[in-house]
Structure 1
Amino acid sequence: MSLSEKFIVLPFKRVRGNLAPGEMRQASNSASAERIATAMADRFVGVAAYAVMVDMETGDMSNPRVLCHFGETADIAA
């Protein structure tokens, strides 16, 4: 198992009254993820930037750590 830390930004939107994740964007580092999340905050119900550990062999993500969030977001670890 080869783990690597990656940085992602996940917007959230309302779909039929429920909170749903939008299209995930990857960032090159934590500062970049926070800048992207800040820029997206006005266009979505919520946005969060995360640091996640990715198994490079399987693509599985684990141990999400919130870097910043705006508005309504869901727990992606659940």
Structure 2
Amino acid sequence: MSRAEKFIVLPFKKVRGNVVPGEMRAASNAASAEKIARAMAERFVGVAAYSVQVDMESGDMSDPKVIWQSGEIADIAA
């Protein structure tokens, strides 16, 4: 099993009173992920930049770690 660290940014919005993730954006590194997240923060109820471990064979993501967050976010590990 081959793993790689990837960086993603997730905006969050409210849908029927629940905080749900929006469209995921990829980033090339942790600094880029934080920069993208900060730029998006004013437009969403919440936004977070994550570092995740990806199984390159199956595409499964696990072990999300928050790099930066603002506002309300949901637990994406659940």
Q: 1:11 aligns to what?
A: 11
Which blocks of at least 5 consecutive residues in structure 1 are unaligned?
Answer: none
Q: In the TM superposition, what is the alpha-carbon distance from 1:35 to its structure 2 partner?
A: 0.1
Give distance in 1, aligned partners of 2:4 and 2:20.
Answer: 26
Runs of 4+ in 1 over 2 A off after TM superposition: none
Give distance in 1, aligned partners of 2:18 and 2:74.
Answer: 10
Q: In the TM superposition, what is the alpha-carbon distance from 1:75 to its structure 2 partner?
A: 1.1
Letter in 1 for 2:14: R
Aligned residue-pair number: 78
Give distance in 1, aligned partners of 2:19 and 2:75.
Answer: 11
Letter in 2 for 1:51: S
> Percent identity among equivalent residues?
74
Q: Where do residues 1-78 of structure 1 align in structure 2 (5 Å cutoff)?
A: 1-78=1-78
TM-score between the two structures when normalised by the length of structure 2 = 0.98
Letter in 1 for 2:67: L
Letter in 2 for 1:46: G
Q: Deviations over 1:4-61 (max 9, x none)?
A: 0000000000011111100000000000000000000000000000000000111100
